[in-house]
Amino acid sequence: MRIVRTTRCTCRRPVRSTSRHSRRVDLFAGTSNSQRLSMRLMRGEAAEVPDADVAAVLGPEPVAAFRFAEERLRGRRRRTTDEPVFCHSADIAMRALDFGYGPRTVIAALLHDVVEEAAPDPETMATLLREVVRRFGPETGRDVRVLTNRYSALMGAIRRDVPPDLPFVDGSREVVAAALRDLQGRLPDEVAQAYTFEFHQLLDYFLPRANVARGAARAQVDRGHSVFAELTLQTYRVFSEDMADDARSRPGPSSNEFCETPLVVKCFDLVDNLRTAEVVSWRALDRILLKSEMFLDATFYLHEHLHGMTVPVVTFIPGYDYLKHQMVEQMEERARALAYLADTRFAPLADFLKGQLSRLRLKYHVGRNPVEGLARLRNRIRALNVHGRMFPG
């Protein structure tokens, strides 16, 4: 059983129809140029695409970032869809452009996965982050660093040092903490200093408070789920909180009071992951739903606070709501596709989707027609971006 995805690309036309039939239409129908570029990327032909064709879709400024990301990600494929990893980054960049964002956001979208995907260890990650700063400047370098899950990388570096059969009890947190302290001690001084903040967050803030028992129920149905896997998953909230803190601490492209670029790119990243999650695996869906909810929960108070601020252009407000509607819409689409297979081996997945759909609608106050809400929010974001270009903050 498989849900057929629409072409990976974007369009520049406003969404006009939100009828009951529009739920079957991807809101990113695509221009001819973006469709051609998207298909070439899917075939693994990114290196052969002329710069002029890239500029025709993304504009001239992101071409260097397109080339840099494609080179670093060449040959890598996504586990969920078996497509080239770079397709995901390029798709987010095209969608950001379609929503009216400028070159800085498009460049951050192209580069957002480069460091995590291309760096096998913390040392390489630190080197690659420095290279991004050197090539694209300090602001883009900071955007990419904030979008790079350094916590997951540090946890991945100690995976082999943590026993796989740790019990789901509080004492297991200290075993993980000890492995992290050992890693901190054996890293070269320059590299360890580059992750001083991350080690502090993990050892002094996150691990002492992490809810280890939360993963016990998941381990009963997923035999591969361990204490280490649960703690690594929960670090996504710390990662998301960093993005919220960063947004409040520096000026952005359209406001001197707030930098929303990493938040916006992460919203698009999660939306694409929701749309491409493995269809017949409840585990894959559960994981991306958990990450999306951790991001939304971690940035909830920031989202609410922004409503009362005088920031001229904050597209993160409707962008946050756009992600909520996408979560519900994707559960609806999958539930509809499995409606006639609920009495087969897909019955557990159908029950999972039904339960998630009810829960998400209630939690996020999304109505019965999320596609209509998506169209409205998309047009709202586009209007805000037009306003930002006319009246820069």
Q: Which residues share a beta bridge with 84?
A: 77
Is there a contact between 76 and 355 (Cβ–Cβ < 8 Å)? no
- 68 pLDDT band, cuts 50/70/90, is very high
Q: How far, in Å, CA of 189 to CA of 331, rounded? A: 47
The SS3 call for residue 2 is: coil
Query: In this model, does residue 336 exceed pLDDT 50?
Result: yes
Token pair in block for residue 370: 């999320």
The model's pLDDT over 187-246, given as tens digits with 9 standing for 90+, comes to: 999 999 999 999 999 999 999 999 998 888 888 878 789 999 999 999 999 999 999 999
The model's pLDDT over 86-118, given as tens digits with 9 standing for 90+, comes to: 999 999 999 999 999 999 999 999 999 999 999
The SS3 call for residue 84 is: strand
**Can you say how many angstroms the Cα of residue 150 is from the centroid of all Cα atoms in its chain?**
14
Return the percentage of the chain with pLDDT > 70, whole number.
88
Q: How far, in Å, CA of 53 to CA of 33, rounded? A: 8
Picking from 18, 65, 70, 62, the residue whose alpha carbon sits closest to that of residue 46 is 70
Residues 6+ apart with CB under 8 A from 295: 236, 240, 243, 266, 267, 270, 323
Is there a contact between 248 and 256 (Cβ–Cβ < 8 Å)? no
Whether the pTM exceeds 0.85: the reply is: yes
The model's pLDDT over 19-67, given as tens digits with 9 standing for 90+, comes to: 333 444 444 545 678 888 989 999 989 889 999 999 999 999 999 999 9
Report the greatest alpha carbon distance in the chain. Answer: 60
Residue 289 burial (CB count, 10 A): 22
Q: How far, in Å, CA of 374 to CA of 378, rounded? A: 6
Mean pLDDT across 173-182: 97
Q: How far, in Å, CA of 179 to CA of 157, rounded? A: 9
Question: What residue type is 20 in one-letter code?
Answer: R
Query: In this model, does residue 250 exceed pLDDT 70?
Result: yes
**C-alpha distance from residue 153 to each of 13, 81, 146, 239, 272 (Å):** 39, 22, 13, 11, 22
Predicted local confidence at residue 278, as pLDDT: 76
Is there a contact between 166 and 228 (Cβ–Cβ < 8 Å)? yes
What's the residue count for the chain? 393
Burial class of 359 by CB neighbour count within 10 A (0 to 12, 13 to 18, 19+): middle
Q: Tokens 């082999």 label which residue?
A: 160
